[in-house]
Copies of this chain bind each other. A is one copy, B any other.
Amino acid sequence: MELKQFTGICRESINLINLNPLQRGGLLSEEARRVAPDWIDGYSVCDFCGGCLDRIKKPPIEEFVHKALPEFLDCDVVRLTNGAREAKFAIMHSVCREGDTILMDGNAHYSSYVAAERARLKIELIENSGHPEFKINEDDYAKRIDEVKPKLVLLTYPDGNYGNLPDARRVGKICAEHDVPFLLNCAYAIGRMPISAKKTGADFIVGSGHKSMASSGPIGVLGMKKEWEDIVLRKSEKYKGKEVEVLGCGPRGFSTITLMASFPSVVERVKNWDKEVENSQYFIKSIEAIGGIKQLGVRPTEHDLNFLEAEIFYEISQKHKKKGFFLYHELKKRGIVGIKPGLTKNFKLSTYQLNKEELKKVIDSFQEISRMN
């Protein structure tokens, strides 16, 4: 086997505009990029470890995990995990037992579903309203909790397809009234927009470092109310310092450093969320003006992640020699990537942190391409 194929690989997208929603919030901050050379080796953060990742003082992971992050998420206790999905599984696996039922929104990310399957739970869904809004009716939670008697309730905020932001506080209130723990999946929220676990009444809140906190993957955050600490963060019977659900320690290396180094800039950027939503609404308005493109999900959009129905691109693809791949190629010619090759009619994208010039370039490109019809 030719082993050289694994070395010297450049990333094609590195200097292009990447519209993939799961890439836009994970671009490293300048601060994280600057410290990278020191910390990219193996188990780098463990030089001065006494046996517990979140108690390392040098670098200041303890201060970060036990003070900065709980303040940022507005919750009592935080741990680092290998991602939002790993955090969700840790919660499901410790709060529920095999055969228990979890109730989640029909817009839940596949990883919520797979985490529940891994925990061997019965999965009940609350269907969305279907085309064009795909909205979750918060009040359905009350009825469905009575019906299926879940041990845990999950809400996706926002979902990763339509960027819909259901009323999390309303669901939190329903869960509290029914005395069911409430898990809020904020993989596309924490690090992009202001979030308070306490205000939504969430027992658990999870976020993704690589998706939305300017971090190198894989890394996530798991926040919770203090009352769950003894259950979710229970210690090993033999190794008293080791928490069982994170297998002793979570992300052991560079990803933790990037989450921490990017954190001050993430705290800042969250304050500009209104501006991001404004940009997103401006973008949608501009491309809908082309004709034949429509934003699905709740309108007007309240998030940078949006789902488009683009009849016009579908029509072009029917006549184009590259078929469904024409859109990918046309965008790439213009320095834009992130829409899945092959898609034309339905696709999602994000305008998060695009500057004015980049936003204009994307809009102009959509306009130009639409004229191929």
Contact = CB atoms under 8 A, between A and B. Distances in A.
A22 B9 contact: no
What band does the interface of chain A fall in when counting residues whose beta carbon is under 8 Å from B?
A: 35 or more
Interface in A42-65: 42-44, 46-48, 58-60, 63-64
A341 interface: yes
Interface stretch (A173-181, A192-200, A251-259, A303-311): A251-259
Given A3-B264, A22-B43, A247 B85 contact: yes
Contact of A36 (B23, B36, B218, B236): B36
A332 to B, nearest CB: 11
Nearest to A236: B114
Given A247-B115, A337-B47, A255 B253 contact: yes
Given A40-B216, A47-B11, A211-B43, A85 B248 contact: yes
Given A11-B47, A48-B341, A118-B244, A42 B68 contact: no
Contacts of A210: 42-43, 252-253
Interface string A10-32: 11111000101011011110011
Given A42-B216, A47-B18, A253-B218, A1 B111 contact: no
B14 A38 contact: yes
Which residue among A37, A71, A211, A257 has the maximum number of chain B CB atoms within 10 Å of its CB? A37
Nearest to A213: B42
A6 B59 CA distance: 8
A9 to B, nearest CB: 5
B8 A34 contact: yes
A5 B60 contact: yes
Contact of A23 (B26, B41, B59): B41
Contacts of A33: 37, 40
A89 interface: yes
A77 B8 CA distance: 26
10 contacts: A6-B60, A7-B261, A8-B34, A9-B59, A23-B42, A42-B217, A47-B337, A111-B247, A114-B248, A217-B255
